[in-house]
Structure 1
């Protein structure tokens, strides 16, 4: 084992947070203490980013009226998505897809504006700014689980409409509405699995060696 490895207990805690992280839709209200929120945002800000561009921006939603307008945008997209699903429309409409009204904290994670000059690591893969933001969100998610808080990533919204609602500058793009806060319990498995919407595939299905589709 590497001399730089964590202790057994520390490693177990890291893997537990990863294994028990869930995309939460059910929240128990309450609040998130300022010092805890500070730790969570600090964890997000320590995410890796291509070219150290740190493209993440987080907007905290504290106005009830604004929270309601964001929920309305999500509901509009939920209905559009349901229509696009065809024969699965009824099943989709029965799913709980967000916890905007019930979560203690509501945040919007977005990409910064004026990203074009940042070409380090992005000349051929410009979407690496999005990958960097996703890493920040994942850091926040895992830290939240370690703190005993639930988090849900909501992507059912029209980006331009949400950007206008939040007064974002041209070029900035909202990527996630994040519901955060206390929960009564964590799902024992992904909610979509529990609701029989989808099945998890094993890791072995995703592993190739040397050539696409070739397995060891």
Structure 2
């Protein structure tokens, strides 16, 4: 098998893909076609995993009752988070609208098996978190593939993982790594919404090598 050569034009487009891979919070309600979703899942499973453990588990959340329960949990956790911010900071936080749970046509819970038999434990004796990190790689691969076909992804982190696992009736031994909103973005942008709204800016110094 010959090794593919990636042209300069491709590498520039890859940089564009990285720049346009944004955390989407505002979605159109039009569903993503099932073949597209299936292709994104297949691509996600090409992600690297330590020991070839492939610990990720993708769960489609379609049931309206379960979605409503997730939304309620988000509202409860978000209210607590809002209480931790004071004054103008609280107003800024409130404007962020951190969830696309109401409008996103698709919800995905991504879970990780902490000790899968696949991979035969390679690397986990010294760094047991590698299963979680491998699952994050699958999420990122899914995200990039979605961006490439115009599909947006939003990561909802202000939720109680254990409560959400109960809502979804999944194996309690699994770790909830991410709850994702998926759909076509209402406002595509190449800069993070948090940056556009003045919440935070990138730190240029973190782009430099640290030498020892």
Give the CA deviation at 1:170.
2.7
2:99 corresponds to: 98
Q: Look up the SS of the partner of 1:106 in the other structure.
A: strand
The answer to whether the 8 A contact 1:114-1:171 is kept is no
1:73 corresponds to: 73
Q: Look up the SS of the partner of 1:177 in the other structure.
A: strand
Normalised by the length of structure 2, the TM-score is 0.90
1:189 corresponds to: 191
Q: Look up the SS of the partner of 1:174 in the other structure.
A: strand
The answer to whether the 8 A contact 1:114-1:172 is kept is no
CA offset digits 1:50-105 (Å, max 9, x no partner): 11111111110111221111111111111111223345333212211010111121
CA offset digits 1:137-178 (Å, max 9, x no partner): 001110111001111111111111011111122311212111
How many aligned positions are there?
208
Return 5+ residue gaps in structure 1 as ranges: 211-216
1:1-216 equivalence runs, <5 A: 4-87=4-87, 88-112=89-113, 114-115=115-116, 119-202=121-204, 204=206, 206-210=208-212
Give the CA deviation at 1:9.
3.0
Give the CA deviation at 1:203.
5.0
CA distance in 2, matches of 1:116, 1:89: 46
CA distance in 1, matches of 2:201, 2:13: 26
Return 5+ residue gaps in structure 2 as ranges: none
Q: Look up the SS of the partner of 1:132 in the other structure.
A: helix
CA distance in 1, matches of 2:169, 2:143: 26
Give the CA deviation at 1:6.
0.7
The answer to whether the 8 A contact 1:105-1:181 is kept is yes
The answer to whether the 8 A contact 1:113-1:169 is kept is no
Say what the alpha-carbon RMSD is for the aligned residues. 1.9
